Amino acid sequence: MKFFIDTANLAQIKELNDLGILDGVTTNPSLMAKEGIRGEENITKHYKTISDLVKGDVSAEVISTDFDGIIAEGQKLAKINPNIIVKVPMIKEGVKAMKWFTDHNIATNCTLVFSAGQAILAAKAGAKYVSPFIGRIDDSNWDGVQLVEQIANIYAIQGYETQILAASIRSALHIVQCAEAGADVVTSPLEPILGLLKHPLTDIGLAKFLADAKGAK
């Protein structure tokens, strides 16, 4: 399973990249705004900086909701760098646009997916990634991880090549559960990923090893 970081913060991207486990980045105008990056020109420059820094795929989101607008924005984003993936919302015009992008060799990430039916449409349109929002589904009293498992089962039966990119990750446990459920990728804030490092028995064991080593000198 690949690890993407969901942020526009360059320091966090570099931290995970230096750890050696970063496979890509997802970001959007909202995350850009959190970093004080606003305006089309500045956002484009930041996408360029991120996609130069990371070897893997970098999802860049359109904000248009009409077909022509999505196409125009997506073409601009795709020209930034070869590893840019155009992130398109799961709406009727978005599905139509994803098929257009597929036919023109522009890779897409279908975002805001909350059902297996939506995931099927994304795969039919040729999306490279489909992004079910795990945490938001949990917030609505449904099981987000179960949806990942359902999509993975459908894709395996139907032979769809679209990769499941589990998004809206809230915890390290979410990451483990998504791996078990068959997600191809998780995109997460930095903290849940670093949370995978932590276990109290590791701390206890390391403290004992260090104490024993000190006593042996």
Total number of residues shown for the chain: 217
**β-strand 2-6 against 185-188: which pairing, if any?**
parallel
Catalytic residue, from 45, 87, 124, 208: name it: 87
Phi/psi for 163 (5° steps) reads: -90, 140
Rg, the chain, Cα only:
19
2 is catalytic: no
Whole-angstrom distance, CA of residue 77 vs CA of residue 60: 7
Query: 183: helix, coil or strand?
Result: coil
H/E stretch holding 54: none
Residue with tokens 């840019």: 84
How far from 2 is each of 91, 145, 151, CA to CA, in Å?
26, 16, 17
CB 168 within 8 A of CB 133: yes
Q: What is the 3-state secondary structure (H, E, C) of 61-110?
A: ECCCCCHHHHHHHHHHHHCCCCCEEEEEECCHHHHHHHHHHHHCCCCEEE
Give the residue numbers marked as catalytic.
Answer: 87
